[in-house]
Amino acid sequence: EFAFVIVDQAIGRHVLAPDIGQAVILSATLSLFFVPLLAAVSGRIAKRLAPSDPPPAEAPDTVGEANSVIIVGYGRVGALVADMLSAHEIGFAVVDINPRVVARARAAGVEAWYGDASVPDFMERLGLARARAVVVTASNTAFTDIVVEAVHGARPDVHIIARARDAGHAERLYRLGATDAVPETIEASLQLAENTLIDLGVPMGLVLASVHEQRDVFRRMFGVRTGSGGVRMRGEA
């Protein structure tokens, strides 16, 4: 309708010739009728051409027997974690709530499963009882919170390494049971500092020691201490 107003004004002000203006109005009128029809048809075609999603089948009981790690989320971060584990020949399974992500991971040869990592029964079928660690790489903070709390409730002794948005989110994850919460903003700062020191000629050993020391400083800020007794927050026995 806005196009009609513009064309009408253009004709009235002699910006457009009447015959050209009428042709434009006719084209706009036809588009009002045909665009919805084309949208409906294209939607049906897209559904037929799109690859079918893997069914939300339950993971078999044998999954996880050879896997030490369960990776929750297979985006950019999860894929990098998987690559690092593969490089060190550490078995892992991936779980993602997006079926298309699961399909892509399987196509790349990754053991991936479609499901909700916050559901204890599903995680148990993935081998949570035998896992040495669970790495939560999801970018959704609310979902990460739920998964960390659920996994900690099912396996209080398992290592939970979780991606955090910032320092405040990391502190919350520690309280929910994470063994290590990795704030994106802090890690980016540490990486920048590490690269700067290396470029300036500081020995690698000293640089890594400084980075680890700074991470410990952040953990102490959160009230976290590590050791044989696990991770505790302020006020906990």
For residue 41 the two structure tokens come to 């048809």
- Residue 17's pLDDT is what? 65
Predicted local distance difference test score (pLDDT) of residue 71: 96
Which among 148, 153, 171 has a CA at the least distance from the CA of 70? 148
Residues 71 and 112: their CA atoms lie apart, in Å, by 9
- Mean pLDDT for the stretch of residues 128-147: 94
Six-digit token string for 107 = 């196509």
Chain-centre distance for alpha carbon 181: 15
pLDDT digit string, tens, across residues 17-60: 666 656 655 665 656 565 566 666 565 555 554 444 444 444 54
Mean pLDDT, residues 87-102 taken together? 92
Question: In this predicted structure, what is the pLDDT of residue 88?
Answer: 87
Superfamily for domain range 57-164? NAD(P)-binding Rossmann-like Domain (3.40.50.720)
Range of 47-56, 117-126, 214-223 with top mean pLDDT: 117-126
* Among 39, 38, 44, 3, CA closest to 24: 3
Cα-Cα end-to-end distance for the chain: 69
* Residue-range domain boundaries for the chain: 2-49, 57-164, 183-237
Token code pair at residue 18: 């009447």
Determine the pLDDT at residue 234. Answer: 38
pLDDT bracket for residue 219 (50, 70, 90): confident
Secondary structure (3-state) at 109: coil
Strands 133-136 and 112-114: unpaired
Question: Containing H/E element for 159?
Answer: strand 159-164
pLDDT digits (tens, 9 = 90+) for 159-195: 999 999 988 999 999 999 999 898 888 788 888 888 8
What's the CA gap between 164 and 117, in Å, rounded?
A: 17
pTM (2 d.p.): 0.66
* Residues contacting 178, CB < 8 A, separation 6+: 136, 148, 152, 160, 161, 162, 231
User: Which class for 143: exposed (0-12), middle (13-18), buried (19 or more C-beta within 10 A)?
Assistant: middle
